[in-house]
Structure formats: structure tokens, C-alpha cells
Amino acid sequence: MPLLTIETTCDETAAAIISKDRRVLSSVVASQDELHARWGGVVPEVASRAHLERIIPVIDEALVKAGIAISDLVAVGVAVSPGLVGSLLVGVSAAKAIAATLNIPLVGYDHIAAHVYACRVAHGDAMQWPCVALVVSGGHTSLFHAISPLELNRLGGTIDDAAGEAFDKAAALLGLGYPGGPLIEKAAVGGRADAFRFPRPLSSDRTRLDMSFSGLKTALRYVVRPVGVDPVPPPPTGQKRADLAASFQEAIVDSILAKLFLAIQHTGAHTLAVGGGVAANKRLRAAIEQFAIQQRIRVLIPPPSLCTDNAAMGAIAWERLEQGSVDGLQLDIHPGTDRTKAYRS
Ligand code: KG4
Ligand code: ZN
């Protein structure tokens, strides 16, 4: 009784086939990184056009890899929020067409809640609710008290840039390319994390669970391109670049850890679930695992392929199906919502 899930919120075209017991029978992700690299970030119009070209081949490949026919599907799940308008529309339109043709249920789900649910997909029953959930990606950096898979209460998060966005902009300043997170991580190898003291805004404020990353990016900019220096110097290389990357990465890790600590204290939660593309970062993973040992809490972080955007985390659609909660063909997208509650119809 497999379900098809479709993910086109940003610049990854993805489809997966998931059985009722949440086994991932196949998961296909077509990345658009090479299309956006020359612009240093995602260009919405380019992304939606690329989704349009790729969505059918990606779904076909997911069916073939799972070894099933399209007529075997019992439902279609699709990410409807948050994301880029043109990108979301492609996935939702494809999902509607398949659901209407096969006369099977259609289920919309929230991309952020799905990032948390990746922990359930990766770790099975070890993932337990309620928990504190950290979603740290290119578009979002938020902390939630996750009551159940479909009910996320936002505790706090970034008040400006997302952590992934900061990584991407820092990589551009260092002349490393796009997407920046993995490139900064690589450049940081052999670098000293204490070589540059970058700001950790709001970290010592124990009254709120908010974070800020835009000043960090600006601080890096002033080191790399000092005011009044003309012409603009080329991006640093060698040990200086490694030191800058390691110090920048450490500032992001510290900022997140400070608020994780408060979130655990505030909720009394014993489980911490982490998701989103930046959760693929080895330094962040190690720091969070160390933190969990100190706090005597259980931490769940999916493998990197389930942290960055994918459709396997769309297994969350089963949660709504099992509640008998489905959508009709009037299902709409919710692009701009940094939703404090998981998507519900
Ligand atoms: O979850 P995701 O694939 O897409 C969004 O929902 O935003 O996250 C993408 C972000 C990008 O900013 C990328 O630079 C960052 O995740 N990222 C990383 C790493 N891998 C991906 N950041 C730091 N270290 C990594 N290894
Ligand atoms: Zn994402």
C-alpha cells in the first residue's frame, strides 16, 4: 500500500515511494545546484522551470526504483508550505493530476514539519513526541516544541537570515561557490575555530529563544573586504581562508547551541530532533551530540541525505492519512508562511 510523495518547495525536485510502515521504497532527488551556482543563490523563475522539466522523470524514476506501477499507489502526498510560489505550484499540480486520474486521496503537508519527521523516517520508533525540534536550513532556522508529528509550536528562531543562508553568503564572500554550507565545511578543515572572534548575537540573552545571523555575515564581510581598501582584495586563500571558514562555522554552531540549551530547559523535553540541510554539517552534528550527552537527552539527527531537501520525509503524509484527514483537488499552496503550526487542511 505505497504512497507517492512529491517535494518541490525550493530548488530540489524530489519524489519518494513510502510504505504504510514508513519504509522508504525509493527516494529520488534531482538537484538544481548547477543551475543556480552562477547566481550564488536560488533564482525562483529558473527553479520553477527546472521543476517543470524534471517532475515527471523524477516521479517515473521513483516508481521504477520502488518496483511498482503507478496504479499501485494508494495516495499522493505533497509539500504545500512554505516555499517559492512557482516551485510549489509545479509539485502540487503534478500531485493533483495523479490523485485525480487514479481517484486516490491527496494530502498536503508542511515542509518544515517534514524536516522534523525525517527523524522518524531515519530512526523509527526511537523518535518520540513531544520533543524539541530544531530545523536549520537555507530558508529556516527555528526551534519548536513538537507535540506530535503534525503539531509544532514555535519557540523561537532566527530574526533575520537563516543559518544556511549565512553559510551560502559567507561562501560567496570567500569565493567558494554555491551551495555554501558544504563548501565552508570543507574549507574549514585544518582551520582554527578561534582564529577570528565573530559575533554571536542574542546568545547570552536568556530571555528569548531567538537567534540572528545577519551581523555575522557582515562581520565576515569587513574582514574579507575592509572598508576603504581599494581595489577590493581577492578572496583569501590558504590558512587564512581555513581559519575564517572554521571561525564562521563555529559562530553558527555556538549561536544554535545556546538556544538549544534554553529550549530544553524551557520545555523539559527529553528528546531533541534535528533536521534541515545545515544539520548535514559534521561540526554541528558533533556539537549537538556532545550537548545531548551533557544534558542527558536523546538526540535524533537523520543521515545527511535526509537532512537536505528530499521527498522521503514526506512520509509525514501518512500521519494525516491515518487520521482520515485528506485534501480535495482545491488544495492550495501556502508559500510565505513560516508556519508555527504544521500544515492542516
Ligand atoms: O533543507 P535544505 O536542503 O533546503 C531548505 O529547505 O532551505 O537546506 C539547504 C541549506 C543550504 O543553505 C546549504 O548551504 C545548507 O543547507 N547545507 C549545509 C551543509 N549542507 C547543506 N550547511 C552547512 N554544512 C553542510 N554540510
Ligand atoms: Zn528544506
Nearest CA to ligand 1 atom 8: 277
pLDDT given at position 337? 54
**Cα-flanking dihedrals φ and ψ of residue 297, to 5°?**
-120, 165
Cβ-based neighbour number of residue 293 at 10 Å: 9
Q: What is the pTM of this model?
A: 0.95
Best residue among 307, 308, 310, 337 to mutate for probing ligand 1, ranked by most atoms within 8 Å of CB: 308
CA of 127 to the centre of ligand 2 (A): 19
Other beta carbons within 10 angstroms of residue 227's beta carbon come to 6
* Residue nearest atom 14 of ligand 1, based on CA coordinates: 181
CA of 182 to the centre of ligand 1 (A): 8
Q: pLDDT of 26-60, one tens digit each?
A: 999 999 999 998 888 899 999 999 999 999 999 99
Distance 237 CA to ligand 2 centre (A): 31
b vs e for 120-134, b when ≥16 Cβ sit within 10 Å of the residue's Cβ? bbbbeeebbbbbbbb
pLDDT confidence of residue 315? 98
Mean pLDDT lowest for which of 34-38, 164-168, 227-231, 335-339?
Answer: 335-339
Centre of ligand 2 to C-alpha 143, Å, is 14
Query: Exposed/middle/buried for 180, CB within 10 Å: 0-12, 13-18, 19+?
Result: buried
Average pLDDT over every residue of 241-251: 98
pLDDT of 338 strictly over 70 = no
Helix spans in 133-211 (H): 163-173, 180-187
Domains of the chain: 3-115+309-344 (3.30.420.40), 128-305 (3.30.420.40)
Give the pLDDT confidence of 270-318 residue by residue, as tens digits: 999 999 999 999 999 999 999 999 999 999 999 999 999 999 999 999 9
Mean pLDDT of 227-237: 93
Q: Is the CB of 277 under 6 A from ligand 1?
A: yes
Cell representation of residue 327? 485534501
What average pLDDT does the segment 150-165 reach? 96
